[in-house]
């Protein structure tokens, strides 16, 4: 029986790229910068930019941004060092 994907059954993915510690260090420094900037943004968001006239809208929005930042931190922690 012929399936539309039969010609692709024998394909193999390309070999992975070689690991380079310098490239990993560069990415880690960029991640640290991004997390520091994100933490500063979250601080500014909660301390200086909440609209007290519409807290029903401002607080859930700031909370969603904070939770997205926490998710980014967890994702970063998960990918910190390749082995």
Work out the burial of residue 64: count CB atoms within 10 Å of its CB; fewer than 13 is exposed, 13-18 middle, 19 or more buried.
exposed
Domain-embedded: residue 66 = yes
Residue 82 pLDDT more than 70? no
Q: Would you give the distance in Å from CA 2 to the centre of its chain?
A: 42
Which pLDDT score is estimated for 6? 87
Count of structural domains within the chain: 1
**Which structural domain range is residue 80 located in?**
39-83
Domain-embedded: residue 26 = no
Domain-embedded: residue 82 = yes
Domain-embedded: residue 44 = yes
Tell me the pLDDT tens digit for each residue of 33-53. 999 999 999 999 999 999 999
Count of CB atoms situated within 10 Å of the CB of 28: 14
Which pLDDT score is estimated for 83? 63
Rounded to 5°, the CA angle 16-21-26 comes to 105
Domain-embedded: residue 77 = yes
Q: What does pTM read for this prediction?
A: 0.78
Domain-embedded: residue 68 = yes
Answer for the pair 35, 71: CB distance below 8 angstroms, yes or no: no
Domain-embedded: residue 5 = no
Establish how many alpha carbons lie within 13 A of residue 5's alpha carbon, considering only the half-sphere containing its beta carbon: 2
């Amino acid at each position: 029986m012929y399936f539309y994907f039969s010609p692709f059954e024998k394909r193999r993915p390309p070999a992975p790229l070689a690991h380079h510690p310098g490239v990993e260090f560069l990415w880690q420094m960029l991640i640290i910068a991004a997390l520091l900037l994100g933490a500063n943004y979250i601080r500014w968001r909660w301390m200086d930019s909440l609209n007290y006239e519409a807290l029903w809208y401002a607080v859930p929005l700031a909370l969603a941004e904070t939770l997205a930042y926490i998710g980014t931190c967890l994702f970063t922690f998960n990918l910190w060092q390749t082995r």
